[in-house]
Amino acid sequence: MPFVLSEYDCNPQFFPVSPIMSLKARISDDMKSAMKARESSRLAAIRLLMAAMKQKEVDERIELDDAAIIGVVDKMLKQRRDSIAQFEAAGRQDLVDKEKLEMDVLSSYLPEPLSDAEVDALISAAIETTGAVSMQDMGKVMGAVRPQMAGRADMGAVSARIKAALAR
């Protein structure tokens, strides 16, 4: 007997919606909801993120996946931290507040940060798997942990921890 689709098989309301939404779709939905709610400051931050994502796609001629989007968000957060330091030095509290609000919006798109214990465990595992014994092997260890920690830990702090672990 041949397989025949009924009207119920083709109707989208009968297909379960995937609970896992791509980060790009989530950002787009958040932009729409910010427009509807007339949250201008949140909308401005999301538009900046969308523009940065589009710029990277055009420059590299690729479609960004979630990992690449997290990289863009991480880069934007670093820029905001640098700007805040400069604005505080110049005494511009209004701009500091604006940058902090943008940081709050941007950080909502990052995955949950790793705890110190999780970071140490990943570093120890990477040192064992790479067979690192000295500071000359730091590049190998960083290469092993970077994909696992992307967007979930400050890589500068991770680098310092790896140096401390290899110095022992």
Q: Given pLDDT bands bounded at 50, 70 and 90, which one contains residue 16? A: very low
CA angle (155, 156, 159) in 5-degree steps: 85
Q: How many helices (H) and strands (E) does the chain have?
A: 8, 0
Whole-model pTM over 0.85: no
**Do residue 97 and residue 154 come from a single domain?**
no
Question: Would the pLDDT of 45 be above 90?
Answer: yes
- Give yes or no for a contact between 144 and 129, defined as CB atoms under 8 angstroms apart: yes
**Do residue 136 and residue 103 come from a single domain?**
no
133 secondary structure, DSSP code: -
**Do residue 103 and residue 152 come from a single domain?**
no
- Give yes or no for a contact between 137 and 130, defined as CB atoms under 8 angstroms apart: yes
CA torsion through residues 137, 143, 146, 148, sign: negative
Radius of gyration from C-alpha coordinates of the chain: 21
- Give yes or no for a contact between 122 and 145, defined as CB atoms under 8 angstroms apart: yes
Please tell me the total count of domains within the chain. 2
**Do residue 141 and residue 86 come from a single domain?**
no
Mean pLDDT of 45-67: 96
8 in a domain, yes or no? no
In three-state secondary structure terms, 168 is: coil
Q: What is the pLDDT of residues 71-108, one digit of tens each?
A: 999 999 999 999 999 999 999 999 999 999 999 999 99
12 in a domain, yes or no? no
Predicted local distance difference test score (pLDDT) of residue 67: 87
What burial class does residue 95 get, using C-beta atoms within 10 Å of its C-beta: 0-12 exposed, 13-18 middle, 19+ buried?
middle
Q: Which CATH number do you get for residue 159? A: 1.10.10.410
38 in a domain, yes or no? yes
128 in a domain, yes or no? yes
Report the alpha-carbon distance of residue 127 to residue 119 in Å, rounded.
Answer: 12
Where does a domain end: 61, 76, 107? Answer: 107
* Residues spanned by the domain of 77: 23-107
Question: Would the pLDDT of 13 be above 70?
Answer: no
4 in a domain, yes or no? no
Report the alpha-carbon distance of residue 122 to residue 138 in Å, rounded.
Answer: 14
**Do residue 80 and residue 152 come from a single domain?**
no
Mean pLDDT of 48-56: 98
Distance from the Cα of residue 142 to its chain's centroid? 18
